[in-house]
Amino acid sequence: MEKNRKIVGLCGSLRKGSYNAMLLKVAGGLIPEGIEFEIVAYDDIPVYNADHDLPETEERPASVTKFRESLADADAFIIASPEYNYSIPGGLKNAIDWASRGKDSPLMHKPVAVMGATQGMWGTVRMQMAFLPVFTFLNMNPVLQPEVLIAQAQNKFDADGNLNDEKTISIIQKKIENLISACKV
């Protein structure tokens, strides 16, 4: 019996009205029928502390265990994130640190696509570059092309979160197709 494929989305912004939350929803709407898509929250995860990360005794905070379990059955990931201080937002990096630990890491060896939206002109390029060492350490398979770098997002999303730029939508669609092709399922 063939396993249903699943893609998990992570948003780097926790704020209401986030352009990256809107972007993640747009991406989810472009995933073909038959592939499950779930956006997983991590806003209740504590700051990483190795004293509370003891997988051999299953002693992790309950919110971390729940988060890791939500990632475990994913075949691939989509990360939509802003850029904070030229890098990965701290909350997202913290969640990835919790998920990356141990031989049972639910991130290892899986394809991942990163995209980002910003009100500025650079389109999250530095945040996306900052992820490359993380993906290398986790032996993940980053889908690098095409790049989804949405600058001046305030002019591309409407008040309901709809993306009104057909060229950008087609680039996101191609990125998702490449992500699905990278899945080993």
Q: Which residues contact 82 (CB under 8 A, 6 or more apart)?
A: 12, 13, 18, 19, 20, 89, 116, 117, 118, 124, 127
Number of structural domains, the chain?
1
Q: What CATH number is given to the structural domain containing 139?
A: 3.40.50.360
Reading the block at residue 121, the tokens are 């002109």
| Domain range enclosing 11 | 5-182
Residue 45 corresponds to which amino acid? I
Q: Is 35 exposed, middle or buried (0-12, 13-18, 19+ CB in 10 A)?
A: middle
Residue 35 corresponds to which amino acid? I
One pLDDT digit (tens) per residue for the chain, 185 residues: 356 799 999 999 999 889 999 999 999 999 999 999 999 999 999 999 888 887 666 678 999 999 999 999 999 999 999 999 999 999 999 999 999 988 889 999 999 999 999 998 888 999 999 999 999 999 999 999 999 999 999 999 999 999 999 999 999 999 999 999 998 65
Give CA separation, 3 vs 6, 8, 28, 110, in Å: 9, 15, 19, 16
